[in-house]
Chains A and B, each alone.
Chain A
């Protein structure tokens, strides 16, 4: 074994539990072989580092080794740090298909801070909107903030709609930035930290999790620009789209309801789709949503059968921008 300075040694901790064929076409044997190879590389790295240190101590002309012994501790600390850092990165099947990072816009001291969680996604992989559609889960964040600091719920950009075999998903490919507003408390913040959980899908789905951190000292101007760009991708308020939703008509067949709404106003002809927000009172048959000749139709079922009025909120899609809208649907007994 050649003795290399361990500086170039990065720890890539392999996934230890076998999850059959999650995102690769590897056989079980190949998967175990790859994991064992990674573990061996890891072990070799440590053996090399120890041997290297031994070699350095052996060459110490003073023979005392006092200072070098401290260095040994320093190496250990560095390894522990490397391990703790890499344990956070998503290493499912050894490939990372969704890589998160934090972005922060620096403001005046004490002002609310706009924070972004940016995911870079491998081609064709996607993350979900807050209403995932027929399947999936949205990204979940747990901020680790000093006492007195608070974070707003995540704000999701306008998603894309993916339809596969009549099953609808709302989500994002390539890159997405989720936003949150953090209100500072009195205690100073040195590093912004968060724990993230997500589900990322292509043909199959993988769960990922990571702990991300960004020291205040590394907040910079470029991040601010990315955040400004991502603010423009958020849904716009309903007043920006001149559409009037007519009194909804409903009809019922078995347990399935259908809502029929007329859209009028100058911008109505531009509206091509409606992405409903999630609700715990009813669930929409996403494949049934259609807008034709200014009429929006969709089918839904009730989660709570005692509902009399539903407040349906969601996004009207016009020229790939989304506009928030909310309208009531009265369920009369037919």
Chain B
């Protein structure tokens, strides 16, 4: 009789302990995103608190990843960046390990993304991967949307087309932003991110 409730209690306690000690991300859909600050490629330091009251998009990126190259070359990313340029703060985040061959200097990064006609506020450099791991960013690209109250409302892929070959693709970020700015709830708040792995320093 007592066995089952006990199992449940043990499981719940175990899960709580697990969550507390195992680096399960602090960032969760529907919950406020913890404050963080990082240096941008322009040399300035940016904090999430700087953008309070605005919608923030975080885009994990690495210009040497074929998926990132594809979403920029096909205009998948830039179309959404341009569409919401006046209404959201778009930040790219680079969590590449400085010792990894994919790492590039701020100057070289600025040049590459300019060539791609990218429009974002700045690229944040996260060489230790602290913020990347906090968000559990897995791939480049991996997209996150934070609403005006600093709550996470979307985490996942830019769209549902990893190969870039679908004719009827669904752009999750575009949809979520249009819902959010139209005062509606975000219907799809998670999707499977796709891309290259984030090149974290270990």
Contact = CB atoms under 8 A, between A and B. Distances in A.
Contacts of A260: 11
Contacts of B11: 251, 260
B64 interface: yes
A255 to B, nearest CB: 5
Interface residues of B, number: 36
Contacts of A140: 163
Contacts of B67: 205
B114 to A, nearest CB: 14
A205 B190 CA distance: 25
- A19, A134, A256 — most chain B CB neighbours (10 Å): A134
Contacts of A301: 190
Contacts of A167: 138, 197-198, 200
A183 interface: no
A260 B18 CA distance: 15
A260 B10 CA distance: 14
Interface string B77-104: 0000000000000000000000011101
Interface stretch (B28-36, B50-58, B119-127, B175-183): B28-36
A77 interface: no
A99 B53 CA distance: 53
B155 to A, nearest CB: 9
Nearest to A206: B66
A165 B66 contact: no
A204 B101 contact: yes
Given A164-B197, A203-B100, A254 B31 contact: yes
A82 interface: no
A134 B138 contact: yes
Nearest to A249: B11
Contacts of B112: 20
Contacts of B189: 255
A205 B196 contact: yes
A302 interface: yes
Contacts of A91: none
Given A21-B101, A253-B15, A283 B192 contact: yes
- B63, B69, B102, B196 — most chain A CB neighbours (10 Å): B196
Contacts of B198: 165, 167
A255 B139 contact: no
B63 A20 contact: yes
Contact of B101 (A25, A251, A303): A25
A102 interface: no
A7 B188 CA distance: 61
Interface in A238-273: 251, 253-256, 258, 260
Contact of A165 (B28, B101, B200): B200
A165 B136 CA distance: 11
A134 B162 contact: no
A128 B63 CA distance: 21
B185 to A, nearest CB: 12
A20 B193 CA distance: 24
A128 to B, nearest CB: 11
A201 B196 contact: yes
A251 B7 CA distance: 13
A140 B61 CA distance: 25
B196 A255 contact: no
A22 interface: yes
A254 B25 CA distance: 12
Interface in A96-122: none
Contacts of B171: none
Contacts of B192: 283, 303
B42 to A, nearest CB: 21
Contact of B197 (A135, A255, A283): A135
Contacts of B102: 21, 203-204
Contact of A135 (B100, B138, B191): B138
Contacts of B195: 135
A135 B194 contact: yes
Contacts of B199: 203-204
A165 B199 CA distance: 9
Given A301-B190, A303-B190, A303-B191, A134 B197 contact: yes
Interface in A13-37: 19-22, 25
Given A137-B194, A164-B197, A255-B189, 5 more contacts: A20-B64, A134-B139, A197-B163, A251-B11, A258-B15
16 contacts: A20-B104, A21-B101, A134-B138, A135-B197, A136-B197, A137-B163, A140-B163, A203-B101, A204-B102, A204-B196, A205-B65, A205-B67, A254-B31, A255-B189, A283-B191, A303-B190
Q: 4 nearest interchain CB pairs?
A: A283-B192, A135-B197, A254-B28, A255-B29
Interface of A: 19-22, 25, 134-137, 140, 164-165, 167, 169, 197, 199, 201, 203-207, 251, 253-256, 258, 260, 283, 301-303, 305
